A and B are shown apart, each in its own frame.
Chain A
């Protein structure tokens, strides 16, 4: 069974600074997808960034980037130039292909302070 671990229940960062959220996972699969989802206080889950396991290059979306270490089964999220609107719960998720059974970590509550 696949498990996803987020070891940081809560984090805070000053506005405009950089923060890194950690995620590790356990799987015997070789082909899979990893995701970071954001859930603001309004509760709507939003996809932040996605990484395909077969791609060696780390995914980047504007201020968001990942450090994907396949051998170490690590998938961290870096948020640069943090903004107040980044305050949310962040969930790391794993999905095996072709199965759409998405497994989530427990989440990291990020607070961006002015």
Chain B
């Protein structure tokens, strides 16, 4: 079974631009979560989508948004980029139901904002 894939792996943008990151979950997984990883703040939860609906949301400004499609693929969008948005963005998928909810992570997208 293929793992979680994220595209692109690397991105360079300038302040004020917007960016869209993509995540394809493991087949059969209906939940996709997004995390931001930075040296200063560590790993922080952005949001989770389940069956095309945002189910949980972390404490990030509205510039960070996402969506999920009927095939469970998810996209994350960041508008009006700031230097502080430079980070590794990780997505993780799981079944979204049951007691286990073990999350499987993708390799991440490294975003650099200049």
A residues contacting B by CB (< 8 A) are 33, 37, 42-47, 50, 52, 91, 95, 97, 99-107
When the two chains form their complex, are residues A45 and B101 in contact, meaning their CB atoms are under 8 A apart? no
> Is B64 an interface residue, CB under 8 A from the partner?
no
Q: How far is the CA of A52 from the CA of B43 in the complex (A)?
A: 22
When the two chains form their complex, are residues A45 and B105 in contact, meaning their CB atoms are under 8 A apart? yes
Residue of A nearest to B44 (CB): A104
When the two chains form their complex, are residues B48 and A100 in contact, meaning their CB atoms are under 8 A apart? yes
When the two chains form their complex, are residues A43 and B108 in contact, meaning their CB atoms are under 8 A apart? yes
Known contacts: A43-B88, A45-B90. The answer to whether A103 contacts B105 by CB under 8 A is no
Task: Tell me whether chain B's interface is mostly helix, strand or loop, or mixed.
Answer: strand
Partner of B45, one of A43, A45, A102, A106: A102
Chain B residue contacts of A104, Cβ below 8 A? 35, 42-44
Q: How far is the CA of A106 from the CA of B103 in the complex (A)?
A: 18
Most buried by A among B31, B35, B43, B104: B43
CB distance from B57 to the nearest CB of A (A): 8
Chain A residue contacts of B44, Cβ below 8 A? 104
Chain B residue contacts of A103, Cβ below 8 A? 45
> Is B80 an interface residue, CB under 8 A from the partner?
no
When the two chains form their complex, are residues A52 and B99 in contact, meaning their CB atoms are under 8 A apart? yes
Chain B residue contacts of A46, Cβ below 8 A? 105
Q: How far is the CA of A77 from the CA of B112 in the complex (A)?
A: 33
